[in-house]
Amino acid sequence: MCPLDHSAPGPLSADQPSGSTQATESRIWPSEGYTRAPYWVYQDAETFLQEQEKIFRGPNWHYLGLEAEVKDPGSFKSTYIGEQSVILTRAEDGSLHAMVNRCAHRGNMMTREAFGTAKKLYCVYHAWSYTLKGDLSHAAFSQGLRGEGGLPKDFKHADHGLQKLRLETLCGLVFATFSDETVPLEEWLGEVAHGIRRVLKKPLKVLGYDTQRIHANWKAYHENPRDSYHANILHTFYGTFGLSRMSQESGMILDKTGRHVYFYTKAGTEKKSEDYEKTSSQLRSHNDGLKLEDPSILKWTDEYGDGVSVQILTTYPGFVLHQIANSLATRQICTKGAGQTDLVWTYFGFEDDDAEMTERRLVQTNLAGSAGMISVEDAAVCEMMQHAIGDAQKGQSFIEMGGKDLDISGSSKLSERAIRNFWHHYKTDMNF
């Protein structure tokens, strides 16, 4: 625990990873429970450190990447779980491994590249080298020279490997956990695994990356794709061009614990109702009369044959899988201090896509990501919220759309159930 500085609870710049410290008594959760999120949780530095321990190193599965990114034996990728740099490798025998990107000797960073191939993992500082499974294979001058120096006689290589993580895969997605307690991945995902299986039906091919640096707390972003209420209101593009409207057939599915969720919408299914007409006429998205000169970027094929035009799937605490028409991508939340989040978008298609399908997916990148005509608002809203909470000493959000409970059944997207469920698990994990 960091010592608390009661005298200086000053405001925190969104750029500053170290945050204001706050009096312990102000870190008491509002009595309403998970229907409120106090604004200090988005800013407090001590809370941020606790999250790293209890959530990111806690009993949860964290997305590391796609099997397709480390396709060949000897390939590796470096990424993050929370603040921790992690390496994902494929060993010579084809098996996947995850380990902390830090030499077991004196803590130097092992891998400096985003992607690469290697026969072994080699620390430049003192030439300790490790197998792609993370076992120590060699420490330079371990026997010393001319009878002097060297490691102690009782030094056991087996005790000094890189810190290994548990790893599991599902449909080409790779997840890892620091904890021995985490239940198996598919059990952890529960019903939400169906949403993953639906989209990732064949071997994948990476099309490219987009990293979006959002100057806001990671939870502000995590709430966003769980929030089906905002999608058709904030994102004008969805409504105006018929990709997703509240009036279309849609649904929300949570796993039985409520940690994970996915939403879907079927374009071309309009259910007329009077109250919809009345409300939607007041929405910005229906008032602008926006027309595309060249609507070809919205042309999509129903590649899954179920009519679902948009599916947004979120797993606790930092992973999103999206299908927006034919655009497919994962989004990984990498925390960078309490006030910054790097959101890594990995776009992909299937290995057997023809040129036309690949082109369609690439063109629809215009809709999502850092420059996405649909999704560009999300980062803006997270930052505006971070700005508006000021020094975060006072105030809390109100999360009662669709009721005050955690009820995971029912399918209306006009509900903040998925956000309440997030805060429920967050509070539990953090002992708030």
Partner 1 sequence: MTEFENHYRPVEQLIYAWARTIDEDRVESIADLMQESGRYRVQSRFNHDRDLPLAVIDCKGVAQLRDRILSMRKANVYQPHHYRHMISGIQIISEPEPKVFEVRSNFLIVRTMDLSGDMKIFATGQTQDLISFQHDKPQFKDRLFIYDSRVIETLMIIPL
Which pair of tokens denotes residue 18?
A: 């170290």
Report d(CA 236, CA 20) in Å as an integer: 36
384 binding partner 1? (CB under 8 A): yes
Stretch that binds partner 1, among 147-155, 205-213, 255-263, 308-316 (CB under 8 A): 205-213
234 sits near partner 1 (criterion: CB under 8 A): yes
**67 counts as binding partner 1 under rule CB under 8 A:** no
Cross-strand pairs, 36: 398
118 binds partner 1 (CB under 8 A): no
| CA 315 – CA 225 distance, rounded (Å) | 10
The reply on whether position 385 binds partner 1 by CB under 8 A is no
Of 118, 171, 199, 207, the residue at the interface with partner 1 (CB under 8 A) is 207
Q: Which of 85, 88, 98, 92 is nearest to 68 (CA)?
A: 88
Q: Does residue 237 belong to the site contacting partner 1 (CB under 8 A)?
A: yes
> Alpha-carbon torsion 362, 203, 170, 96, what sign?
negative
Helix (H, G, I), strand (E, B) or coil at 249: strand
* Contact status: 427 vs partner 1 (CB under 8 A): no
Q: Which is nearer to partner 1, 105 or 230 (CB)?
A: 230
341 near partner 1 (CB under 8 A): no
Touching partner 1, residues 284-323 (CB under 8 A): 285, 288, 290, 292-294, 296-297
Total residues in contact with partner 1, by rule CB under 8 A = 43
Q: Is the dihedral of CA 226, 230, 236, 239 positive or negative?
A: positive
Q: What are phi and psi of 290, to 5 degrees?
A: -75, 130
Position 232 contacts partner 1 (CB under 8 A): no
The contact mask relative to partner 1 for 358-377 (x = CB under 8 A, - = no) is x---xx-xx--xxxxx--xx
Q: In the structure encoding, which two tokens stand for residue 226, read together?
A: 């769980």
Give least dist CB 324 to partner 1, A.
14
Cα 83 versus chain centre, distance = 13
**Shortest Cβ 82–partner 1 spacing (Å):** 18
Cα pseudo-dihedral 156, 157, 163, 164, rounded to 10: -110
Residue closer to partner 1 by CB (options 66, 192) is 66
**Cα 218 to Cα 114: distance, rounded to the nearest angstrom:** 22
Q: Which residue is listed with tokens 């399918």? A: 411
Binding site for partner 1 (CB under 8 A): 114-115, 206-215, 234, 236-237, 240, 285, 288, 290, 292-294, 296-297, 342, 347, 358, 362-363, 365-366, 369-373, 376-377, 379-381, 383-384
